[in-house]
Amino acid sequence: MRLKYIILMVLVNICLTQTYREIPDVVTKVGTSVGNWLKLETDARAVGMGGAQVAAGEGVSALSYNPASIAFMGGTQLYYSHTNYVADITHGSMAYGTRLTPTDFFAVHYFSMNSGPMDVTNAYYPDGTGEQFEVKGMCFRGTYAKIMTDRLKVGLSFKYIQESIYTTKMNTVAMDIGSNFDTGIYGFILGMSISNFGLDGQFHGEGLDQQVADTVSVDGKLQKVTEKFPLPMVFRLGLKNTFVINEYNKIVFAFDGVNPIDYTVNGNVGMEYSWNETAFLRLGTHLAHDTASFTAGAGIKIGNIYVDYAYASYSVLNDTHQFGFRFALGGGDFY
């Protein structure tokens, strides 16, 4: 049964991405999807490990990488993070997850992005009209996960997505599906997920109004119709292994292969060293990516609170710093 499930997940990925196979490999497909901010990293632990989290993620903080990650919760968990991203962009996330039964789990997750203020320009005022606008994105999701067997966990997220640019707005819905499977082979854990599988996005709003002569339209204006674009669907396949040095020291190694519909295939490699499940050091890197490269991070557990920090280098772009806070309540520890 487990082998059939894995084969099914791979076949689903092939079917979902088949539409894009006719595009030559030399084309990166950048700019062919809407809502690219949905691919931003939301978990400070994951960022410190180079984004390698589809198999390594455990708990509510990792559900954006793999919804099955919440099936590791022992109780209730809370998460909050904030990031000063490149080009004055900021984003943050909040999440709550709880264990409903010994095998059933539920979580909610809110993610927001803000570009910061920018000047409004047009053909007559190329230096600015005096107005300013912001690009804003919001994603709210509900996630359910279940322990199927002692080695297999599955998860499903439904999410509402909204993006606004000046006086135009886009709304759509999507889903994420994922699994976490203990292979039983030398301690390897296999993780798989498909993110942002949903309806195409299309912008509407006042900003698309076009003034015309009264002889053409009764109210003197028409609204331009924009094209529909797909969401940035991503397929992830990853492996994780934990090497226990002794009762106080262990190292987690993780690798993810990432196949987005609007970019070339790339990878993430990361590791996490932990001492007594209290202090953590992390390193990672991105493979075959234009800008993202080296990452590092650290974490400390104080009572039931985990404080995480992550640094990421984006080559010609600015480096970023991210903080995250994880709260374990009622036995809901993260490890």
Q: Write the pLDDT tens digit of every residue in 58-73.
A: 999 999 999 999 999 9
Q: Is residue 182 part of a domain?
A: yes
CATH for 116 = 2.40.160.60
- Per-residue confidence (pLDDT) for residue 109, from 0 to 100: 97
Q: Write the pLDDT tens digit of every residue in 292-332.
A: 889 999 999 999 999 999 999 987 778 999 999 999 887 66
Domain enclosing residue 79, as ranges: 2-19+39-329
Q: Is residue 32 part of a domain?
A: no
Q: Is residue 68 part of a domain?
A: yes
Tokens read off for 259: 């196949």
- Amino acid (one-letter) located at 240: K
For residue 7, pLDDT beyond 50: no
Q: Write the pLDDT tens digit of every residue in 112-149.
A: 999 999 998 888 888 888 889 999 999 999 999 999 99
3-class secondary structure, 294: strand
Q: Is residue 66 part of a domain?
A: yes
**What is the pLDDT of the chain when averaged over all its residues?**
87
Q: Is residue 128 part of a domain?
A: yes
For residue 47, pLDDT beyond 90: yes
If one counts the domains in the chain, the total is 1
- Per-residue confidence (pLDDT) for residue 17, from 0 to 100: 44
- Per-residue confidence (pLDDT) for residue 205, from 0 to 100: 81
Q: Write the pLDDT tens digit of every residue in 22-41.
A: 444 556 677 788 999 999 99
For the chain, give the percent of residues with pLDDT over 90.
65
Mean pLDDT to the nearest integer, 211-229: 66
Taking residue 327's Cβ as centre, other Cβ atoms within 10 Å add up to: 17
Q: What is the CA radius of gyration of the chain?
A: 21
- Per-residue confidence (pLDDT) for residue 31, from 0 to 100: 74
Q: Among 99, 98, 102, which Cα is nearest to 148's?
A: 102
- Per-residue confidence (pLDDT) for residue 331, from 0 to 100: 63
Q: Rank 200-209, 219-228, 237-246 by mean pLDDT and report only the highest.
A: 237-246
Contact yes or no for 271/241 (Cβ under 8 A): no
For residue 187, pLDDT beyond 90: yes
Mean pLDDT to the nearest integer, 150-174: 95
Strand-pair partners of 255? 239, 269
Question: What is the C-alpha to C-alpha distance for residues 263 and 267, in angstroms, rounded to an integer?
Answer: 12
Higher pLDDT, 55 or 219: 55
Torsion, CA 40, CA 172, CA 17, CA 11, rounded to 10? 100
Q: Write the pLDDT tens digit of every residue in 93-112.
A: 999 999 999 999 999 999 99
Q: Is residue 25 part of a domain?
A: no
First to last CA, the chain: 28
Question: What is the C-alpha to C-alpha distance for residues 149 and 104, in angstroms, rounded to an integer?
Answer: 12
Q: Is residue 334 part of a domain?
A: no
- Per-residue confidence (pLDDT) for residue 22, from 0 to 100: 46
Q: Is residue 48 part of a domain?
A: yes
- Per-residue confidence (pLDDT) for residue 93, from 0 to 100: 95
For the question of whether the overall pTM of this predicted structure is more than 0.75, the answer is yes
- Per-residue confidence (pLDDT) for residue 333, from 0 to 100: 64
